[in-house]
Amino acid sequence: MRNVLAMSATLKTAPETIPPNASGEASETPSGKGAGDENFPVGSFLLPKHLRPHVATYYAFARAIDDIADNPALAAEDKISRLRAFDAALRGEERDDPRLVKAHALRESLAATGVTTKHGSDLVAAFVQDAQKNRYASWDELLGYCELSANPVGRYLLDLHGEDKSGYLYSDALCTVLQVVNHLQDCGDDRSALDRVYLIGDWMAQEGASIEDVDRDALTPALRRVVDRMLTCCEELMALARELPRALQSRHLAMESAVIVNLADRLITLLRRGDPLATRVALTKLDLASAGLHGAVGGFLAAGRGARR
CB-CB contact of 184 with 276 (8 Å)? yes
Q: What is the pLDDT of residue 97?
A: 85
Q: Is 3 helix (H, G, I), strand (E, B) or coil?
A: strand
Alpha helices in 3-133 (DSSP H): 52-69, 76-90, 101-113, 118-132
Q: What is the pLDDT of residues 122-157, one digit of tens each?
A: 999 999 999 999 999 999 999 999 999 999 999 999
Q: What is the pLDDT of residue 44?
A: 77
**DSSP character for 215?**
G
Asked if the 44-302 domain carries CATH number 1.10.600.10, the reply is yes
Q: What is the pLDDT of residue 94?
A: 77
Nearest alpha carbon to residue 158 among 93, 252, 81: 252
**DSSP character for 99?**
G
Question: For the chain, which ranges sit under pLDDT 70?
Answer: 1-43
Q: What is the pLDDT of residue 12?
A: 32
Nearest alpha carbon to residue 227 among 251, 248, 209, 247: 209
